[in-house]
Chain A
């Protein structure tokens, strides 16, 4: 069983969670001033790294809160999970 640590509820089974895509992406403050390419980059382009990856997860079947996770895409090892707003980018 793959366990994911919710910052509030602790370690729970993967089946309780839903994945929310890559984390740490900041919405541009003034979207109107971006070129189409820059806007598309913000909307669609993701890093898809081999190794450490910032992710968003939702504890859907538990406390239903969003939080951030740093997971290794090769080993699936989760090095930390954290409350959003408490340092998405260190």
Chain B
């Protein structure tokens, strides 16, 4: 069932057509699973248990990313998004569930509801700035930063990761087609 849900989009063909026309590339990151983790940093043992299970630190500074085997986005003072290889996501969710069972915490597998896109290219910052009020200057939106905002009226999580002109954009699956159409027009 999960597979059926996770593949329900028709973005690849659109992207292939479009990449051939512009110097700006998008790839659909179907290889990533999405987990939403909530928990109280002030609660003794939460941070240690979560970090041990995931195997890397949770970012505590607002709007930052921790990169390792998984990519962890700060979403709020008690909320994180963990992107992890899709085949490991369900397993990691179970492990977090059990290691945090004595905590006031929640792990939700949201892989079916949202989709990650990798945007690369020299003009990627310009393209994003066209539809988003955030400052995408290379000295402001530096690598390792993330933000939740609106891109062309769709709610997105944007992270700069893996290079100067490389961004990960996470959007609701139902908005993905719309966002692609918008990017098509802008880029």
Whether the Cβ atoms of B148 and A61 lie closer than 8 Å is yes
Question: Which residues of chain A come closer than 8 Å to B76, judged between CB atoms?
Answer: 8, 63-65
| Residues of A contacting B: mostly | loop
Interface: A9 (CB within 8 A): yes
Task: Sort chain B's interface into a size bin.
Answer: 10 to 19
Whether the Cβ atoms of B133 and A12 lie closer than 8 Å is yes
Whether the Cβ atoms of B155 and A61 lie closer than 8 Å is yes
Whether the Cβ atoms of A9 and B77 lie closer than 8 Å is no
Whether the Cβ atoms of A61 and B62 lie closer than 8 Å is no
Whether the Cβ atoms of A9 and B62 lie closer than 8 Å is yes
Known interface pairs A9-B62, A64-B76; A15-B147 also in contact (CB < 8 Å):
no
Whether the Cβ atoms of A65 and B150 lie closer than 8 Å is no
Give per-residue flags for B45-64: 1 if the beta carbon is below 8 A from chain A beta carbons, else 0: 00000000000000000110
Interface: A20 (CB within 8 A): no
Give per-residue flags for B115-155: 1 if the beta carbon is below 8 A from chain A beta carbons, else 0: 00000000000000000011000000000000111100001
Residues of B within 8 A of A (CB): 62-63, 75-77, 79, 133-134, 147-150, 155
